[in-house]
Amino acid sequence: MDPQQPVFTVEPPGPPPRRPASRPAGGFFGVLTAVVLLLMKFGGTFLSMFFMIWVYSLMFGWKFAASIVLLIFVHEMGHVLAAFALGIPVSAPIFIPFLGASIVMRQNPRDALTEAIMAYAGPLAGCVGSWACLWPAQQTSQLWLVEVGAISFGLNLFNLIPVPPLDGSKVLIALRIPGFIYMELARFGFVLLLLAYQFTPLGSWMNNTSLRITYEMFQLTRALL
């Protein structure tokens, strides 16, 4: 054998590397997210609506659940109709329990004012839908419809707060605030807002305001009828 020739040895293959055990998605919200993703792929708007009604009906009853989800649909259709009028293609609404609903813009708006108009059309339509609940309440003396209208007024009022990802945050873009301020609000603003709603007078003020709006609209509805 040539002493200059290298010698190669072939070792038998070892056992395959162990894969880390995958953790099953646990908890209620993991299952909820999986179901919503399936609905987005195969069901679309109406199946996600029915799923949201079913989830809410387990806690609040089907009449209340169906009414709230229908009013959220009216809110989202305000966005959709405004986008159509402004020439912005958007997706159909997808409903997610405890988070509301959302649409996706398929192209960027022309400017900040266009985006703000489209954003504010949702709460406007939602408030009109809330008012519409008071008409059958007057005719049938169904007080639960007044409660639904009051909650819907409150949700739309809350949505006008200028904190991402709420609709009211689009006014910050129109006002051309510095980008880093908007990014910080997007990171921490909503959590701080929820804490303020729970532990400061902000929550009681918003609840009282929505009740006051409901009372005034109820009186207006009675006068019109």
What secondary structure, in 3-state letters, does 149-205 show?
HHHHHHHHHHHCCCCCCCHHHHHHHHCCCCHHHHHHHHHHHHHHHHHHHHHCHHHHH
**pLDDT tens digits along 47-80:** 889 999 999 999 999 999 999 999 999 999 999 9
39 pLDDT more than 70? no
2 pLDDT more than 70? no
Return the pLDDT at 176.
Answer: 77
User: Is residue 220 one of the residues assigned to a domain?
Assistant: yes
User: Is residue 21 one of the residues assigned to a domain?
Assistant: no
**pLDDT tens digits along 164-191:** 889 998 888 777 777 778 888 888 888 9
Return the pLDDT at 221.
Answer: 84
User: Is residue 50 one of the residues assigned to a domain?
Assistant: yes
Q: Which has the higher per-residue pLDDT, 44 or 219?
A: 219
Measured CA to CA, the distance from residue 114 to residue 19 in angstroms comes to 50
Measured CA to CA, the distance from residue 90 to residue 195 in angstroms comes to 32
User: Is residue 9 one of the residues assigned to a domain?
Assistant: no
User: Is residue 120 one of the residues assigned to a domain?
Assistant: yes
Return the pLDDT at 33.
Answer: 67
User: Is residue 16 one of the residues assigned to a domain?
Assistant: no
138 pLDDT more than 70? yes
Return the pLDDT at 42.
Answer: 53
Domain total in the chain: 1
Query: Domain range holding 58?
Result: 28-224
pTM of the model: 0.77
Return the pLDDT at 20.
Answer: 47
H or E, element range at 96: strand 94-96
10 pLDDT more than 50? no
User: Is residue 20 one of the residues assigned to a domain?
Assistant: no
Check if the beta carbon of residue 122 is closer than 8 Å to that of residue 168: no
Return the pLDDT at 75.
Answer: 96
25 pLDDT more than 60? no
User: Is residue 105 one of the residues assigned to a domain?
Assistant: yes
Measured CA to CA, the distance from residue 173 to residue 180 in angstroms comes to 12
Check if the beta carbon of residue 184 is closer than 8 Å to that of residue 152: no
